[in-house]
Structure 1
Amino acid sequence: MRSSLRRPRRLERLTVIGGLATALSLGTVPASAGGVQLQALPGSNLTAATADAPLPDYDKEIVGRFDSANSVNHIRHLAVDIGPRLNGTPQEREGAEYIGGILKSYGFKVTLQQWGPVSTKRVAKVTSSDADLPGGPNWQMAASASGKFTGDTGVKGQVVDAGTGQSATEFPADTEGKIVLMDYSTNATVRNTAVANAVSRGALAVVLAYPTGNSAPPSFTLTTPQPGIPVVGGGSAHSAWLRGLLAKGPLTLTIATNEYANPMGTNVIGIRPAVGDPDGTTAPIVMVGAHIDSVLGAPGAHDDASGNGVSLEVARVLSQYPLDKELRIGGFGGEEGGLLGARAYVNTLTAAEKARFVGEWQMDMVGTPYEPARLWALTPNGQSNYVVQEAYESAARVGFDGLRNCRLGQSDHQAFYDVGIPSSLFIWLDYRPPAPPAVCGPTGGTYVTEPQYHRPTDTMDNISPERLQTTLDVVGGAVAHNALNAVTVSALSDAGQPLAGAQVRADCGDGPRALGTTGADGRLKAVFPHITCDFSVTAEGATATERGVAISGDHAVKVTVDLTKPTISLTRPADGAVYTLGTATTASYRCEDNLSGIAGCTGTVPDGGPLDTSSVGFHDFTVKAVDNAGNTASRKVTYQVVYPWQAYFPETMSGKAGSAVPIKFSLGGDRGTDVFAPGYPASQQVACDTGKPIGPAEPTRNPGNSKISYGGGQYNYVWKTDKSWSDTCRQLQLKLDDGTGHFAVITLR
């Protein structure tokens, strides 16, 4: 990030927080007319979907594949293997070439864009053949124009420490031919004396480094030029590191000083054209940016190799999906010098290109472990915009509530903002928004940078894989969401009503994906690559599928769910039908559905099958139907099976109270003697003239009076009347276990 004119005080506290997220590996994605097939790499945890465990939606799938370990590897190459990447130096160019090479391996079209010239740069590259340089192996210091420019060959020699260099006693006896380390002084006379003393003792080169504080390498001139040897300025970290190495034994350095007069800056732009728009003339553009350069002497691990590490990981994952949006990855040089590379790039955009931009997500300092830092989305006017809002929505999808937004320029997002492209700076920073009632827009806030900011100590120790992962999940997730196609699924009933809370899935050739449930308006929004999918909606137990939806660009899908239950026509048995025991008869029924068709129609017995009349009593008969949408219906009727009853007694008779009255009947055979329903036979006094019951019914069957027997093809029931019933009328009630009742009235005298 470009430094502001006001530099706030720095805090010294440093803590690593968080936990590294687990990532998925994505195999090859072959192109096909019908969609893509996702294949798991050996040893990966990408598993096939099942009906019970469907694949996640594409938002979750892509975020699950972001792996900050890959970002760390890119950061290490830029900050360690290449080292400081001052604008206009070969190291800035080398960083651009590395980023471009990675993007090419992901299938991007890559352009290295030169622009400038920029101001003259005088730098020293410092390496060692016999020591591991802390934060190294490539240090960068300031090369003084008062000394010699050696070119890339440089000078090589052992290092001696001469302290302040102000007296002869501070110089070792064997100073001649050695590289002399001395304290840098802000006093020009003191500096000049130290260097002159070293030259007089035959020094091979001079390193003036800040002895205390947390200082960057100084650029300086001498009142007495020393054209015979290189003279370089180092930061306080260089001073501490060199003296620490010297305490362990002899140390050899190679110092190569170069003056790059009015050099050119370098950008790298990777473009992955949209499907169907290989020339890049019509498709919307989604862009991720970071800056390549660092300040003099700083390896720039956090500022801003971290941004490139995140953007390259976003590129890796998204490159494996066919997209209808054009994806651009920008590595800009010269950010630290005034957003030079980003402005140069933006100036190449035509009006038509600018109009195609969805937004630019700028990554700058996105992974420090500095504890007070938090993730911010900062815009030049302090207002939220589309890019910021999409990041908030992405944060909500991954359950991160730590994102905030406010006002700040000072990074490459400003260049895009100035030409009307929605943009935001995403940064982990100890940012202090204005106190209420002030708001971010008009006033903005202040910030405290991490201690390593713009210092030689901005090394890999200043990188948090956990915070990089959060940035990938939140900001990378927003970029991915916008690079995919927006699909709105509308779920309607067959009556045309929106279906709220309906479950929506999609199968794009690799198994079902759970997209979520519809809202109150019956709609659900999801994102998809350029692909062909089957969409299914389940509501109230019914499922409908819209097959073969070819998704290219933003899309609308309407799925109508058949919620009409199937109909059942049950002809036989009819409800309440009565069949004589052993009667041969068959079931007759059918199921119908005019919308989705019948998937199943089953009854107690199959249609046309024999009804059960083998036992007397009441029988339930049920038919169940299910249609192809999953709707079900059921119909139940009850029929009765009865004995073939025949009575051999009159319905009215007379007799003497206390006598035995024989009641004879036939049931079509011997059914045993347990043919009466519980509590029967029974008798009840009735009015002789009207037959109206008088008093309760009383069971007549008991071992002392009434008995039943079978013989000669008929039943004989002896009803023993009671003497007390004289001059009354009584009704005999014969209820059988088949549910039928039979009656006779006797007049007793």
Structure 2
Amino acid sequence: MRSSLNHPPLLRRLTIAGGLAAALAFGTVSAAVGGVQAQGASGASGASSADVSADAPAAKNASLTGYDREIVDQFDSANSVSHIRHLAVDIGPRLNGTPQEREGAEYIGGLLKSYGFEVTYQQWGPVSTKQVAKVTSPNADLPGGPNWQMYASASGKFTGDAGVEGRVVYAGTGQSAADFPADTAGKIVLMDYNSTASIRNTAVANAADRGASAVILAYPTGNSAPPSFTLTTSQPGIPVIGGGSAHYTWIRGLLDKGPLTLRIATNQYANPMGTNVIGIRHAVGDPTGTTAPIVMVGAHIDSVLGAPGAHDDASGNGVSLEVARVLSQYPLDKELRIGGFGGEEGGLLGARAYVNTLTAAEKARFVGEWQMDMVGTPYEPARLWALTPNGKSNFVVQEAYDAAARAGFDGLRNCRLGQSDHQAFYDVGIPSSLFIWLDYRPPAPPAVCGPTGGTYVTEPEYHKPTDTMDNISPERLQITLDVVGGAVAHNALNAVTVSATSDADQPVAGAPVRADCGSGPRDLGTTGADGRLQAVLPHATCDFTTTVEGRTATERGVSIAGDRAVKMTVDFTKPTISLTTPADGAVFTLGTAATASYRCDDNLSGVATCTGTVPDGSPLDTSAVGFHEFTVKAADNAGNVADRKATYQVVYPWQAYFPETMDGKAGSAVPIKFGLGGDRGTDVIASGYPVSRPVTCDTGKATGPAEPTSGPGNSKLGYDDGQYNYVWKTDRGWGGSCRQFELKLDDGSSHLTTIRLK
């Protein structure tokens, strides 16, 4: 990310930039199903699944997830880390205009070519002269290395790539002979950098007088980048370079462990050219790249002097390359562009040079540009932000929010900031946003981001030699892939609106939609209250199905070649069932002959199969007492089904040998005799019964809870001479009251009598 000017190095206010950030629509589908912008689909995703490519065969009877979920599941931050390591470690610092910036562009371009992209390298400039020293070691593993970069002073010698090599000695401030070891001749001398020119001049002159082969002036304290400086007395015979405080600490630490040899190559690149790399994957139906909507991802290649730029901004390239890898597996009707821009740190130079090559027609085709800059630091206060030059949300920001929601991430926030390559796209009217992990402080209410912006604090490694792989969080890179990569993928695919309507042309909500585009069936989600589902699909021919209440509607061979709509009509007219016998709640005496009576009708086709617990006209089952469920199911030729249920009861042939009310004496036994049409055994009484409860004598209303009748004097149920007999022993204390006796049988029937007790 480019530094903000005229502010302290750690706390900087945001810059303000004007311009237009409007989301562009590229066509709509028919009014019958509602307009869907090419870049505005919001598809539903299914549950997580293993990585599955678009052309992989589906497992038998398995269902794939929607393309949104499938693509995000394939993003792997480990691949991003590998790319970051190559850029920041194998290549090292990539100062604008240096061969390392070009090497970074070629690495990115080579990968994009392997993914099937058409790659172009853009040279632009010239830019300001660069004076750099490349520092390596033949005998030590350099921390943050192996390629250090320092400032090469024009007051010293430019060695070219041949460089000089020698053991390193430390000479403190270098102000007196006592600071220098006796064997300084032929050695590379490390000394403390001093901001006072005369002190620096003396130190270097003393080192040269003692035969030093090279001089490194490095900050001994603080957290500083390599200094740029000149000497009042030139030293044309030896390279003189400036190192950051990390270089100083690392060299001193290595010297403490033993002899250290460094190799220093100094070069001056006079008015060099900067480099961009642009990868284009043309749309299936637009191989020449003239009409298809454009979805672009960007990051910057260059880093500042001395910084390996792992986070700023090899991380952005690591993410964009992983997005390119995964999306390259899918045939797309949108044009996908991956941009690696040079010179961002010098003032967005590469990005501005690129957008200046775009024609008006080309700019109008842009769906949006997602710019990633510093997208994975472990610095704890940092959070993921979507920042725009005017502080307002736009299409690109909103799509990132939608992708975050699909991924289950609620940590994305948006506010205002320029200072990165998204500004160049914003200035020419292309919707864009900067995505960055940053300790950003939005304005306090009632201020809002648009007019006022906020402030931010950078991570300690920002623009320092310590911006190494230690400044990379794979976990946060993965979040960025899920959110930004998910948004890019969603917009690179085709927006498809699926409508489910009934045969009465009413919207069908909650209809599960599947599509098989040649790789197996996949769940796209369910329709909303309006009967519609918005999904995203690649260029393909697909079969769409939905099954609602057993009725399956299918649209086969639908060509998905751009944004479109699919309509499925579901026949919901169910057959009707007339159930006469048994009626719900009917009661039959045990063994009674009863015949089932029912019929089924389909109001549309007139034909419906009808299946009951027993066939129509057949005897009902009355062979066992209790409650029985009778079910009739109907199905028509269209696949619609209906069912109807009735519950009937089978009871014993009951005969009571006791009146509904009778008189008795408290404390005496009352015989309860009844018949059930024969000997049914002694387990005919329901569990927990008989019971008695106090009631009013005049109304029979209960005045207390029921109590079990079991106890001394109460006999067990007996059967003799065609009758059942149960002896109820009343309580002496019930005199002058009435009690209700309840006998419940295992057939579900209940029988009552009330006794007035004297």
Q: TM (normalized to structure 2)? A: 0.76
Aligned partner of 1:139 among 137, 145, 148: 148
Per-residue CA deviations over 1:598-631 (Å, capped at 9, x if unaligned) read 7x65466789xx95699999x9997633246542
Aligned partner of 2:461 among 449, 452, 459: 452
| Equivalence for 1:580 | none
Whether contact under 8 Å (1:23, 1:67) holds in the other structure is: no
Q: Within 2, Cα distance between the matches of 1:227 and 1:435?
A: 56
Q: Within 2, Cα distance between the matches of 1:165 and 1:179?
A: 13
Whether contact under 8 Å (1:593, 1:627) holds in the other structure is: no
CA displacement at 1:538 relative to structure 2 = 3.4
| Equivalence for 1:400 | 409
Whether contact under 8 Å (1:214, 1:455) holds in the other structure is: yes
Whether contact under 8 Å (2:501, 2:570) holds in the other structure is: yes
Determine if the alignment matches structure 1 residue 161 to structure 2 residue 170. yes
CA displacement at 1:49 relative to structure 2 = 7.0
In structure 1, the residue corresponding to 2:208 is in which secondary structure? helix
Closer, same or farther: CA 365–595 of 1 in aligned 2, 3 Å: farther
Q: Within 2, Cα distance between the matches of 1:427 and 1:702?
A: 87
Aligned partner of 1:221 among 230, 236, 257: 230
| Equivalence for 1:358 | 367
Q: Within 2, Cα distance between the matches of 1:311 and 1:392?
A: 18
Aligned partner of 1:361: which letter? W
CA displacement at 1:323 relative to structure 2 = 0.8
Q: Within 2, Cα distance between the matches of 1:38 and 1:474?
A: 27
Aligned partner of 2:2: which letter? R
Aligned partner of 1:438 among 442, 447, 465: 447
Q: Within 2, Cα distance between the matches of 1:260 and 1:226?
A: 19
Q: Within 1, Cα distance between the matches of 2:373 and 2:504?
A: 53
Closer, same or farther: CA 613–226 of 1 in aligned 2, 3 Å: closer
Per-residue CA deviations over 1:544-592 (Å, capped at 9, x if unaligned) read 222222211111111111110135799999999xxxxxx9x99998865
Aligned partner of 1:413 among 408, 411, 422: 422
Bigger Cα displacement from structure 2, 111-120 vs 126-135: 111-120
Q: Within 1, Cα distance between the matches of 2:596 and 2:642?
A: 22
Bigger Cα displacement from structure 2, 151-160 vs 491-500: 491-500
Determine if the alignment matches structure 1 residue 545 to structure 2 residue 549. no
Determine if the alignment matches structure 1 residue 210 to structure 2 residue 212. no
Determine if the alignment matches structure 1 residue 495 to structure 2 residue 504. yes
Name stretches of at least 5 consecutive residues in structure 2 with no aligned partner: 12-46, 587-592, 657-673, 679-758
Closer, same or farther: CA 450–190 of 1 in aligned 2, 3 Å: same
Q: Within 2, Cα distance between the matches of 1:700 and 1:138?
A: 105
Closer, same or farther: CA 23–564 of 1 in aligned 2, 3 Å: closer
Determine if the alignment matches structure 1 residue 3 to structure 2 residue 3. yes
More relative contact order in 1 or in 2 (CA 8 Å, sep 6+)? Answer: 2
Bigger Cα displacement from structure 2, 195-204 vs 440-449: 440-449
Determine if the alignment matches structure 1 residue 377 to structure 2 residue 386. yes
| Equivalence for 2:357 | 348
Determine if the alignment matches structure 1 residue 485 to structure 2 residue 497. no
Whether contact under 8 Å (1:596, 1:628) holds in the other structure is: no
Determine if the alignment matches structure 1 residue 294 to structure 2 residue 279. no
Per-residue CA deviations over 1:670-699 (Å, capped at 9, x if unaligned) read xxxxxx97669xxxxxxxxxxxxxxxxxx9
Per-residue CA deviations over 1:500-520 (Å, capped at 9, x if unaligned) read 222222232333322222222
| Equivalence for 1:67 | 76
| Equivalence for 1:187 | 196
Closer, same or farther: CA 376–620 of 1 in aligned 2, 3 Å: closer
Bigger Cα displacement from structure 2, 565-574 vs 537-546: 565-574
Q: Within 2, Cα distance between the matches of 1:344 and 1:595?
A: 69
| Equivalence for 1:175 | 184
Q: Within 1, Cα distance between the matches of 2:246 and 2:48?
A: 36
Whether contact under 8 Å (1:571, 1:588) holds in the other structure is: yes
Aligned partner of 2:92: which letter? G
- Which structure 2 residues correspond to residues 201-280 of structure 1 after superposition, within 5 A? 201-280=210-289
Q: Within 2, Cα distance between the matches of 1:212 and 1:289?
A: 36
Aligned partner of 2:408: which letter? G
Q: Within 2, Cα distance between the matches of 1:409 and 1:321?
A: 33
Whether contact under 8 Å (1:491, 1:502) holds in the other structure is: yes
Aligned partner of 2:144: which letter? G
| Equivalence for 1:14 | none
Whether contact under 8 Å (1:596, 1:629) holds in the other structure is: no
CA displacement at 1:443 relative to structure 2 = 1.4
Q: Within 2, Cα distance between the matches of 1:101 and 1:116?
A: 23
Q: TM (normalized to structure 1)? A: 0.76
CA displacement at 1:188 relative to structure 2 = 0.5
In structure 2, the residue corresponding to 1:125 is in which secondary structure? strand
Q: Within 2, Cα distance between the matches of 1:154 and 1:303?
A: 28
Per-residue CA deviations over 1:26-84 (Å, capped at 9, x if unaligned) read 5765xxxxxx4457xxxxxxxx3746xx3221111111111111100000000000000
Per-residue CA deviations over 1:708-738 (Å, capped at 9, x if unaligned) read xxxxxxxxxxxxxxxxxxxxxxxxxxxxxxx
In structure 1, the residue corresponding to 2:161 is in which secondary structure? coil
CA displacement at 1:147 relative to structure 2 = 0.7
Closer, same or farther: CA 613–331 of 1 in aligned 2, 3 Å: closer
Closer, same or farther: CA 588–246 of 1 in aligned 2, 3 Å: closer
Q: Within 2, Cα distance between the matches of 1:567 and 1:245?
A: 89
In structure 1, the residue corresponding to 2:397 is in which secondary structure? helix
Per-residue CA deviations over 1:277-322 (Å, capped at 9, x if unaligned) read 1111111000000000000000000000000000001111111111
Q: Within 1, Cα distance between the matches of 2:423 and 2:341?
A: 13
Closer, same or farther: CA 169–535 of 1 in aligned 2, 3 Å: same
In structure 1, the residue corresponding to 2:160 is in which secondary structure? coil
Whether contact under 8 Å (1:50, 1:511) holds in the other structure is: no
Aligned partner of 2:97 among 88, 93, 104: 88
In structure 2, the residue corresponding to 1:242 is in which secondary structure? helix
How many pairs does the alignment contain? 624
Whether contact under 8 Å (1:503, 1:539) holds in the other structure is: yes
CA displacement at 1:635 relative to structure 2 = 7.0
Closer, same or farther: CA 117–629 of 1 in aligned 2, 3 Å: farther
Closer, same or farther: CA 548–331 of 1 in aligned 2, 3 Å: same
In structure 1, the residue corresponding to 2:315 is in which secondary structure? helix
Whether contact under 8 Å (2:298, 2:372) holds in the other structure is: yes
Closer, same or farther: CA 571–457 of 1 in aligned 2, 3 Å: closer
Closer, same or farther: CA 296–74 of 1 in aligned 2, 3 Å: same
Whether contact under 8 Å (2:217, 2:241) holds in the other structure is: yes
Determine if the alignment matches structure 1 residue 112 to structure 2 residue 121. yes
**Between Structure 1 and Structure 2, whose CA radius of gyration is higher?**
1
Closer, same or farther: CA 166–541 of 1 in aligned 2, 3 Å: same
Name stretches of at least 5 consecutive residues in structure 1 with no aligned partner: 12-21, 30-35, 40-47, 577-582, 639-675, 681-698, 704-749
Whether contact under 8 Å (1:587, 1:605) holds in the other structure is: no
Whether contact under 8 Å (1:434, 1:443) holds in the other structure is: yes
Closer, same or farther: CA 115–588 of 1 in aligned 2, 3 Å: same
Aligned partner of 1:101: which letter? G
Percent identity over paired residues? 80
Closer, same or farther: CA 270–503 of 1 in aligned 2, 3 Å: same
Closer, same or farther: CA 447–49 of 1 in aligned 2, 3 Å: farther
Whether contact under 8 Å (2:601, 2:607) holds in the other structure is: no
Determine if the alignment matches structure 1 residue 317 to structure 2 residue 326. yes
Q: Within 2, Cα distance between the matches of 1:432 and 1:81?
A: 35
| Equivalence for 1:645 | none
